[in-house]
Structure 1
Amino acid sequence: MGSLKIDSSKLKGEVKIPPSKSMAHRAVICASLSRGVSILENIDYSEDIIATIEGMKTLGAVITKYDDYIEVQGIFNEENKRESLRTINCNESGSTLRFLVPISLLFNGMTRFIGKGNLGKRPLKTYYDIFEKQKINYKAEEGKLNLLVDGRLKSGDFEVEGNISSQFITGLMVTLPLLNGDSKILIKTEMESKGYIDLTIEAMKDFGIEIINNNYKEFIIKGNQSYKPRNYRVEGDYSQAAFFLAADALGSEVILKDLELNSLQGDRLVIEILEKMNVEITATKEGIIGNAKSALKATVIDGSQCPDIIPVLAVVSALSKGTTKIINSSRLRIKECDRLKAITTELIKLGANIKETEDGLIIEGKEDFLGGVEVWSWNDHRIAMSLAIAATRCKNPIIINDFECVSKSYPNFFEDYKNLGGGVNEWSLGK
C-alpha cells in the first residue's frame, strides 16, 4: 500500500458528488429481484458496489456494466442460472453480506459467504438466531468470514434489536415480500439509523413493494409481492458530500453538485449538525456550499442516526471553539476498523485535543492542526478521507499511509481533491 503527501491548502471549485452507495446497493438488489429488465443510472463502481453486483449475479441476475449505468435482468428469469453450491465474495462490504444472506435463502442449494479485512469480525448473531429458530443449517468460522448457509427462509415474525446494524433489518425487508406468507419485523429496542430504513422502504416502493412502518417499532410485510423492473437514477451521496461540506466549514470554497436537498439519506444530518456549529449551508443553481459565518462553535453530536459521518465531524469539532461531545456512537467500533480509536489516534498526531469515551468522543477545539507527521488510514476509507480534509488546516504537510483504501467507496476521491486545489504533490512515496 502506498503513501500520499499532502501540503496544506484550501479547496476551491465544483465537485460532482458520487452516487449514494447506500441507494446503489438497494437499487441493484431491487432490480435483481424484479421480473424483467431495469436500467440503473449514475452508478459508481466502488469496491462495495461491485461486491453487491457480483453477489446478485451469483444468485442468478444477469447484470451488464456500462460506463455509469448498468442493465439488470432479474433473478427470476427462467433462463438465468445459479449454481447449487455458490460462493459470494463480499470483499469488505458489510452491506453486501447482511443484505444478501437472507436473499440467498430464497433458493435451494448452499451459499458460502467469504470476505476480507474486518468483515469476519462484524457480528451476525441476529441471523444465527433466525437460522436456529427456523432450523436453517449454517456453519461459520470465528473471527473470519467463511459462512455457509443451506435452507429456505420461511415467513413469520422476526424479532430484531433496534440498536444493532440496520443492515439486518434491510436484508429481511428486501427478502420477506417474496415469501408465500405474511411477515412482521418486530423491533425490540429503540431504533437507530432510521434513515437507512427509510431508504430501504423508499427504494422498495420505487420497485413496487409495499411495507407498513408502525413508528419503527413494527414493520408489516405482505407476502407474495413482486418487484417491478424500472429505470432508476441514483442520487448523490451525503456520506461523501460530508467531507467537502466539512472542508467548507474549515475555510474551503467547494460547491457540491448532484445532491437532493429533500433526500431521505440519514447522512443528510451533516447539514443540520454543521449549521449548529455556525456553518451557513446555501443552495444555489450551481449546487450546495457551506460557509462558516464566524468562529466554529462546539456542540453535542448524536451519532446514532449517522455513524458514517462522525469521523469527519470529529475533524471539524477539533477546530471549533469549546468542547464538543460525540455520543451514541459505539457502533463505530465495529466498522472497517474501530473508528473512534482510529480518528482519536490520528488527530492527536496532528495536534488535536481529543479523547475517547465508551460510545463517543470528547473534543476540545484548537485553532489549527500542526501537522508535519505521518498518519495512517487504518485501511478505512472514511478515516483516510477525513485525514485529507484535516490536511487543509495543517500548518505543515502530512503523509497519509495506505490511502488507496478510498477505493472502497469513493475511488476518485483524491483525484477530485487534487482538482479542487488540494496539495497532493506525489502519488506514491513508497510502502
Structure 2
Amino acid sequence: MYRHTRCHQRWHSGWCRVNAPWKVLGSGPLVGEFVVNGDKSVSHRSLLIGALCDGPVEVEGWGDSADTRATLEAVRALGVQIDDHGAGRLTVHGVGLTGLKPPVGAIDVQNAGTLMRLLSGILAMQPSGVFTLDGDASIRTRPMERVAGPLRAMGASIETTAGCPPVVVQGGQKLVGMEHVMEVSSAQVKSALLLAALRADGPTTVVEATATRDHTERMLRAAGATVHTTGGRVVINPVERLQLDKIEVPGDISSAAFLIVAATIIPESRIFLRSIGIGAGRTGVLDVLERMGARVALFNRRTTEAGEPVADLEIAHAELSATSIRPEEIPSLVDELPILALAGCVAHGRTRVRGADELRVKESDRLQSVRDALRSVGGHIEVKDDGWFIRGVPVRLRGGTVESHGDHRIAMLGAIAGLYSEQGVTIIDPDAINVSFPGFRPMIEAAIAVRRS
C-alpha cells in the first residue's frame, strides 16, 4: 500500500524551489492511503486565536505552507512567542486579548487573505497602537471594505487604500456590540467581526443568508467564549479571557478534494484519506460529488478538543453524471470549484455552475483562469455570467499546458488534469502550490512512481 506522509520542511528552507515547468503524465489507478496537509483555515486560526489566549496553547497537525507561515511570522511580529517543534507541532504562548504589541513597520501578510481579514478584526479591539497590514501585489487587489465597513460600524478606526490593502488599524477605540447582516457570504468577514466583538461593550450578532465555514465559532467556543448559532444568526458575547490547552488541526478538505476527484475519475482507483475536517460549511464538495455519482464513504467520525468534526474517507472510481451547482451552495465549496469544474468536464452531460462571482477576487480571476486551464487541455467549458457552462465528455482529456497565474488551486487543477490525460499536462509556475499544499507535488510524483515501478 502506498503511503505518503505530510511534508514538514520549513517554508524558508524551500519546497521544490525550482519553479521550472512541471509535466504530469497520465496515470494508472491511484491506490493506498494519502495524508493531506493540515487544514489551512484551522491552521491560521490556531495561531491567531492561540495568541489571544492566556498561557500556552499546543497545536498539532498544523499545516505548514506559505500562507500559514505568513500568519506565524505576523503573530511573532506582534510580540507572541511561538515555538516550532517540527512535524506540525507548535506551542503558541498566548498573551491574552489585549497583549499584542505594535511592530516596527508594516505586518507582511504576503498573499494570505484570511490573515489580512481576521487580523484586522483582532487589531481593531486592541487597547492601543497603530498597525499597518500590507502584502504582495496580489493581496493589494483584494477587496477590504467588506471587512473595514462593518468594523467601522462597531467603532473601529480602520482605513483602506482605495478599498484594498494596505490597511491601517488604530487601536484604543471603544467597540459597540451590534447586529450586522452580511452582504457577501464570507467566513473571513464573519470571523473578523466575531474576533473584534470579543472586547465590544455588548453582544454582537452576525446574520448570514447562507451558512459559511464555522471554524472561528468552534474554536472560540472551545476557548471559553459564549457563541450561539441559530437559524443563520451567530451571536457572541464579550469575554474577559480565552484559554485553550490544545488544538488538533484536521486534514484540509480543500486539498483533499483534488485527490478525491483524481481517485473518482481514474479507473480502478481506491484511496483512503485520514482525519479530514468535515465541519459545517466545508463538505459541499462531497455533497456535489455524491450527487454526480462519486463513491465516497465516511467512517471513524469524531470531534477534536477544539470542536472540529473529522472523519476518515474512502474513495473509489465511479462514473460521473452532470449536475447543477446552485448559488446557495457556493459558500460551502468555493475553494473546491476549480476541481469540481474538472469533474464536470469528464462527466456525462452538461454541468451548470451559478452564483460563483466571488471567484473573480481570489488569487486569480478563477472564473476565467479555470476556463482557460481546462480548455487548454481539451475540456469544454465557458464562462457564463457568474459561473460556468460545462459540456462533459467522459473520456481522458487531451492534455496541454496550464498557466497557473500564481494561483495554487489552478496549478493543482492542472496536475490532476495531467493524471487523467492522454498526452500529459505541463504546469507553468507550479511553485504556486506551496501557498497551501507544499507536499502535493512530491505526493503526486511518488504516487506515479509507485504505479510505474
Fold-level similarity (TM above 0.5): yes
Match of 2:229 in 1: 213
> Could you state the TM-score of these two structures normalised by the residue count of structure 2?
0.85
Match of 2:389 in 1: 362
Alignment equivalent of 1:8, drawn from 15, 26, 34 = 26
Name the CA distance, whole Å, in 2 between partners of 1:36 and 1:83. Answer: 20
Name the CA distance, whole Å, in 1 between partners of 2:298 and 2:225. Answer: 33
Give the direction of change, closer, same or farther, for the CA distance of 1:81–1:235 in structure 2 (3 Å limit).
closer
Name the CA distance, whole Å, in 2 between partners of 1:265 and 1:30. Answer: 19
Instruction: Say if 2:309 is the partner of 1:288.
Output: no
Structure with more contact order per residue of length (Cα contacts < 8 Å, sep ≥ 6): 1
Alignment equivalent of 1:161, drawn from 182, 185, 207 = 182
Query: Does the 8 Å CA contact 1:39/1:71 hold for their aligned counterparts?
Result: yes
Match of 1:306 in 2: 333
Match of 2:294 in 1: 279
Give the direction of change, closer, same or farther, for the CA distance of 1:107–1:3 in structure 2 (3 Å limit).
farther
- Report the CA distance between 1:368 and its aligned residue: 2.9
- Residue identity in the other structure for 2:33: E
Task: Name structure 1 gaps, 5 residues minimum.
Answer: 426-431
Name the CA distance, whole Å, in 1 between partners of 2:80 and 2:249. Answer: 19
- Residue identity in the other structure for 1:205: R
Query: Does the 8 Å CA contact 1:117/1:336 hold for their aligned counterparts?
Result: no
Give the direction of change, closer, same or farther, for the CA distance of 1:138–1:268 in structure 2 (3 Å limit).
closer
- Residue identity in the other structure for 1:176: A
Query: Does the 8 Å CA contact 1:31/1:38 hold for their aligned counterparts?
Result: yes
How far does the alpha carbon of each residue in 1:290-332 deviate from its partner, in whole angstroms, 9 at most, with x for none? 2244x31001123232100000010011000000111221111
Query: Percent of aligned pairs with the same residue?
Result: 24
Give the direction of change, closer, same or farther, for the CA distance of 1:53–1:254 in structure 2 (3 Å limit).
farther
How far does the alpha carbon of each residue in 1:159-195 deviate from its partner, in whole angstroms, 9 at most, with x for none? 242424220110121231234x2132343x623xx24
- Report the CA distance between 1:145 and its aligned residue: 2.6
Match of 1:202 in 2: 218
Q: Where do residues 134-153 of structure 1 align in structure 2 (5 Å cutoff)?
A: 136-142=156-162, 145-153=165-173
Query: Does the 8 Å CA contact 2:118/2:191 hold for their aligned counterparts?
Result: yes
How far does the alpha carbon of each residue in 1:231-254 deviate from its partner, in whole angstroms, 9 at most, with x for none? 121111111110111001112625
Give the direction of change, closer, same or farther, for the CA distance of 1:225–1:255 in structure 2 (3 Å limit).
farther
Query: Does the 8 Å CA contact 2:145/2:160 hold for their aligned counterparts?
Result: no
Name the CA distance, whole Å, in 1 between partners of 2:97 and 2:298. Answer: 44
Query: Does the 8 Å CA contact 2:408/2:434 hold for their aligned counterparts?
Result: yes
- Report the CA distance between 1:370 and its aligned residue: 4.2
Provide the alpha-carbon RMSD of the alignment. 2.5
Query: Does the 8 Å CA contact 1:6/1:422 hold for their aligned counterparts?
Result: no
Query: Does the 8 Å CA contact 1:245/1:254 hold for their aligned counterparts?
Result: no
Query: Does the 8 Å CA contact 1:255/1:287 hold for their aligned counterparts?
Result: no
Alignment equivalent of 2:263, drawn from 240, 248, 255 = 248
Match of 1:57 in 2: 76
Query: Does the 8 Å CA contact 2:106/2:132 hold for their aligned counterparts?
Result: yes
Name the CA distance, whole Å, in 1 between partners of 2:443 and 2:68. Answer: 20
Name the CA distance, whole Å, in 2 between partners of 1:117 and 1:389. Answer: 28
SS of the residue corresponding to residue 102 of structure 2 reads: coil
Match of 1:373 in 2: 400
Query: Does the 8 Å CA contact 1:278/1:292 hold for their aligned counterparts?
Result: no
Alignment equivalent of 1:118, drawn from 135, 138, 144 = 138
Bigger Cα displacement from structure 2, 159-168 vs 315-324 = 159-168
Match of 2:420 in 1: 393
- Residue identity in the other structure for 1:157: M
- Report the CA distance between 1:111 and its aligned residue: 0.5
SS of the residue corresponding to residue 426 of structure 2 reads: strand
Name the CA distance, whole Å, in 2 between partners of 1:381 and 1:272. Answer: 23
SS of the residue corresponding to residue 298 of structure 1 reads: coil
- Residue identity in the other structure for 1:329: A
How far does the alpha carbon of each residue in 1:101-125 deviate from its partner, in whole angstroms, 9 at most, with x for none? 1211213111010111321121111
- Residue identity in the other structure for 1:296: L
SS of the residue corresponding to residue 117 of structure 1 reads: coil
SS of the residue corresponding to residue 182 of structure 1 reads: coil
Alignment equivalent of 2:193, drawn from 172, 195, 215 = 172
Query: Does the 8 Å CA contact 2:272/2:315 hold for their aligned counterparts?
Result: no
Task: Name structure 2 gaps, 5 residues minimum.
Answer: 1-18, 301-310
Name the CA distance, whole Å, in 1 between partners of 2:136 and 2:448. Answer: 34
Q: Size of the alignment, in residue pairs? A: 416
Match of 1:107 in 2: 127
Name the CA distance, whole Å, in 2 between partners of 1:271 and 1:406. Answer: 22
Match of 2:101 in 1: 82
SS of the residue corresponding to residue 58 of structure 2 reads: strand
Query: Does the 8 Å CA contact 2:252/2:276 hold for their aligned counterparts?
Result: no
How far does the alpha carbon of each residue in 1:10-67 deviate from its partner, in whole angstroms, 9 at most, with x for none? 3333211211111111222221110111110111211111111222222232111121
Give the direction of change, closer, same or farther, for the CA distance of 1:369–1:219 in structure 2 (3 Å limit).
same
Query: Does the 8 Å CA contact 1:103/1:175 hold for their aligned counterparts?
Result: yes
Alignment equivalent of 1:258, drawn from 262, 271, 274 = 274
- Report the CA distance between 1:201 and its aligned residue: 1.1
- Residue identity in the other structure for 1:304: P
- Report the CA distance between 1:91 and its aligned residue: 0.7
Name the CA distance, whole Å, in 1 between partners of 2:374 and 2:166. Answer: 35
Name the CA distance, whole Å, in 2 between partners of 1:254 and 1:175. Answer: 45
Name the CA distance, whole Å, in 2 between partners of 1:199 and 1:135. Answer: 25
- Residue identity in the other structure for 2:432: C
Name the CA distance, whole Å, in 2 between partners of 1:141 and 1:408. Answer: 25
- Residue identity in the other structure for 1:313: L
- Report the CA distance between 1:143 and its aligned residue: 7.6
Instruction: Say if 2:344 is the partner of 1:344.
Output: no
Name the CA distance, whole Å, in 1 between partners of 2:379 and 2:262. Answer: 17
- Residue identity in the other structure for 1:222: N
- Report the CA distance between 1:416 and its aligned residue: 0.7
